[in-house]
């Protein structure tokens, strides 16, 4: 038994994907790059969608905004979804703007009841507009809020309970945050509902000795591969992708890295099936 495997679509690889069928099951597109009025990006997306299933991954919904979500953003996101017909739509557990200004970063939230109310309300609103469950990704973080009342995994669990959203577990982000804050990444993996996980992300990071930075510009490290195997053992057959956002190598290198994920998944899931 194996799961499905995808890659993040990057402009450097457009030609590779369009000139020959590549060994991926789906592609993840950054929603915000295609929420435009016509032009080359949408024309290229149309061609990609003719050949590959896609998922849509956003970076600007700002699901933690106390001012609520931008309805114009949601309208344009829904229009893009109607065009691309994605398998699912995801965004991040974070806030990324204030007073109408975009910060172009994924800022962490305090894990409090107050924040839980805000995020739950925003997710329910987004799902009402999009007419589908939203898939929420955990972000890497470098600071903790002294006012937090619960763990991140407890926060995510309650979000799932309140909104029926699903989770995109970024295995690298779990590892980075665990290292930076001194908790066990296994506690995170064990702490979210078993039936809540819709997708895995795998990526690399920068090791600065006493802290890690989620750069997504390195290959996946051995410890993250081990954590991925552990997550597969807990959650089973979950679609998996490699995410690279900088120092983007030739496609063949990412496909080779994706083959490592396939090998791990085949081994874990085969052993699980035998057991």
**Tokens encoding 161:** 């309970």
Q: Label residue 7 left, alpha or beta by phi (over 0 means left) and psi (-120 to 50 means alpha).
A: beta
Is the pLDDT assigned to residue 85 strictly greater than 70? yes
For 124-157, the pLDDT digits (tens) are: 999 999 999 999 999 999 999 999 999 999 999 9
Sign of CA dihedral 131, 132, 138, 139: negative
Asked if 81 and 192 touch (Cβ cutoff 8 Å), the reply is no
Q: What is the pLDDT of residue 1?
A: 40
- DSSP H/E element including 89: strand 89-92
DSSP 21-69: --S-SEEEEEGGGG-SSSSHHHHHHHHHHHHS-EEEE-S---TT-TT--
pTM (predicted TM-score) = 0.94
Is the pLDDT assigned to residue 99 strictly greater than 60? no
For 41-58, the pLDDT digits (tens) are: 999 999 999 999 999 999
Q: What is the pLDDT of residue 185?
A: 98
Sign of CA dihedral 8, 12, 18, 23: negative
**Tokens encoding 257:** 């890295």
Q: Which residues constitute the domain of residue 184?
A: 5-274
Mean pLDDT of the chain: 94
Tokens 């962490």 map to which residue?
A: 108
Domain count along the chain = 1
Q: Can you give the length of the chain in residues?
A: 275
Is the pLDDT assigned to residue 98 strictly greater than 90? no
User: What's the CATH code of the domain at 165?
Assistant: 3.20.20.150
Cα–Cα distance measured from residue 253 to residue 249, given in angstroms and rounded to the nearest whole number:
6
Cα–Cα distance measured from residue 156 to residue 265, given in angstroms and rounded to the nearest whole number:
25
Please give the average per-residue pLDDT across 247-253, as a whole number. Answer: 97
Q: Which of 225, 228, 237, 242 is nearest to 272 (CA)?
A: 237
Q: Count Cβ neighbours within 10 Å for each residue of 242-264 and write b for 16 or more, e otherwise.
A: bbbeeebeebeebbebbeebeeb
């Amino acid at each position: 038994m194996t799961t499905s495997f995808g890659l993040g679509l990057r402009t450097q690889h457009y030609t590779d994907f369009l000139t020959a069928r590549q060994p991926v099951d789906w592609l993840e597109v950054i929603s915000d790059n295609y929420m435009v009025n016509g032009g080359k990006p949408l024309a290229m997306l149309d061609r990609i969608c003719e050949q590959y299933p896609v998922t849509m991954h956003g970076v600007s919904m700002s699901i933690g905004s106390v001012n609520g979500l931008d309805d114009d953003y949601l309208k344009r996101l829904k229009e893009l979804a109607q065009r691309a017909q994605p398998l699912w739509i995801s965004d991040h557990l974070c806030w990324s703007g204030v007073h109408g200004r975009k910060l172009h970063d994924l800022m962490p939230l305090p894990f409090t009841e107050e924040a839980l109310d805000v995020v739950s309300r925003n997710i329910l609103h987004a799902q009402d507009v999009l007419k589908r469950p939203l898939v929420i990704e955990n972000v890497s973080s470098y600071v903790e809020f002294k006012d937090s009342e619960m763990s991140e995994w407890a926060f995510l669990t309650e979000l799932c309970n309140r909104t029926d959203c699903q989770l995109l577990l970024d295995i690298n982000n779990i590892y980075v945050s665990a290292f930076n804050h001194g908790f066990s990444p296994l506690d995170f993996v064990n702490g979210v509902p078993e039936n809540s996980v819709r997708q895995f992300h795998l990526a690399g990071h920068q090791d600065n000795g006493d802290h890690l930075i989620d750069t997504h510009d390195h290959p996946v490290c051995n410890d993250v591969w081990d954590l991925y195997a552990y997550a597969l053992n807990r959650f089973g057959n979950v679609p998996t992708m490699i995410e690279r956002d900088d120092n983007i190598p030739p496609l063949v290198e990412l496909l080779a890295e994706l083959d490592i994920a396939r090998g791990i998944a085949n081994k874990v899931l085969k052993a699980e099936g035998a057991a």
